[in-house]
Amino acid sequence: MSNVQAIKLVTGEELVVEITEETETAITFKNPLAAVLQRSQKTGEPALGFMPWMHAANGPFVVDKSKIICVAEVADEVKNGYNQIYGAGLVVPPQQLITG
CA distance 71 to 44: 30
The pLDDT, as a whole number, for residue 91 is 58
- pLDDT tens for 14-63 read 999 999 999 999 999 999 999 999 988 888 899 889 999 998 998 899 99
CA distance 93 to 100: 20
Report helix, strand or coil for 7.
Answer: strand
Farthest CA pair distance, the chain: 54
CB of 52 closer than 8 Å to CB of 61: no
- pLDDT tens for 67-100 read 999 999 999 889 988 988 887 655 556 666 666 5
The pLDDT, as a whole number, for residue 40 is 85
CA distance 67 to 59: 18
The pLDDT, as a whole number, for residue 86 is 87
The pLDDT, as a whole number, for residue 99 is 65
Query: Is this prediction's pTM over 0.85?
Result: no
